[in-house]
Structure 1
């Protein structure tokens, strides 16, 4: 917990990316004032200590004219003279504080660097979100194979305080409806809990099937955060920052 000067207590998950990049993930980002930019070989993403005019101005200063970047924050961003908000997507933050329900009787396997080409291929088909080249540095991944073919996976991403994020959950379209997503998520959750940590995740607020799956696995909706794609505006010929 963080206590502000006015006595307000903030939960670590209230601004989860900022807290992660100022903790265990500091080495994967660079600080510019009170913002942190994730390493581009992980994702083109930025976190702000707070959504404020000063921090948005700092973000604009750190970007080149015409550049786009994804801001993950607990509030919706509004366009400024320097930053144009291209899109905003609400994402439900869900946390699993209780016991993990029994996992399906489906074998899952720890994925390694040797599996990474197949992981990329599956993500390209299933589109759960980006999978950067350093993903396996950030946490463990579990997968399901049909013979030698990887058909489902889930993994870990952010870690800070006592929390670990479940991420990149996907199943090949030809293999959906078989309980594979539940199996890989259960396996990742179990590893997180066995390490004495608490699983959390983010899910598109319109993805009803995924929300129901996560609820069945013990996740509950804690809050909503926002993915705001912003573009640096400016005069033609203005020097890059």
Structure 2
């Protein structure tokens, strides 16, 4: 179970703490305009699930499990048939949607993939009349800088806690 709370979550009987981390919750009410890209953006789905999980496991953008791609729309970029970048949607509290799973294979960084994918995900959320938000590990200054360049602003520090059965 993953919990996002303003402060560390107290111990829960019959569970064990897997991890906890301070994160910056960020929101966007608008997104910078799109720019031309020299790569094709693909819609990802069940057929891509194993590669999506492998990419997330390699890059560690945050929790990503076997069925995370079912929580919302995910898009990605393939190079020579390999999934090298993705971004999508995860939590959906009423009126809000979280942009999530933003990651790029280390061998393919610096091509603008993360920026363009997150821009498209965010634009889709805003077009539905919802508030876009995301979480970044508070010490990931590179990601935070990218998110700010796309129109996201820091809202609050939160603690992300993962609990499992004892």
| TM-score, normalization by structure 1 | 0.61
2:134 corresponding residue in structure 1: 201
Greater relative contact order (Cα < 8 A, sep 6+): 2
Deviation at 1:74, TM superposition (A): 1.3
Asked if the contact 2:17/2:161 (under 8 Å) is kept, the reply is: yes
Which residue does the alignment assign to 2:50?
117
Q: What residue ranges of structure 2 are gaps of 5+ in the alignment?
A: none
What residue is the counterpart of 1:20 in the other structure?
none
Hey, which bits of structure 1, 4+ residues long, moved more than 3 A? 77-88, 228-233
Q: 1:83 to 1:130 in 2, by over 3 A?
A: closer
Match of 1:92 among 16, 24, 28: 24
User: Following the alignment from structure 2 to structure 1, what is the Cα–Cα distance between the partners of residues 84 and 9?
Assistant: 37
Mapped to 2, the partners of 1:230 and 1:111 lie a distance apart of: 28
The higher radius of gyration belongs to 1
* SS state at 2:92 partner: strand
Aligned to 1:101: 32
Gaps of 5+ in 1: 1-43, 46-70, 234-241
For residues 112 and 231 of structure 1, the distance between their equivalents in structure 2, rounded to whole angstroms, comes to 27
- Cα deviation code 1:126-145 (max 9, x no counterpart): 12123223223210001011
Q: Report if the CA contact (8 A) 1:104-1:182 is conserved.
A: no
Q: Is this contact kept in 2: 1:112–1:136, CA < 8 A?
A: yes
How far apart, in 1, do the equivalents of 2:76 and 2:157 lie? 28
**TM-score when scaled to structure 2?**
0.86
* Partner SS for 2:125: helix
The number of residues matched between the two structures is 164
Q: CA deviation at 1:169?
A: 0.6
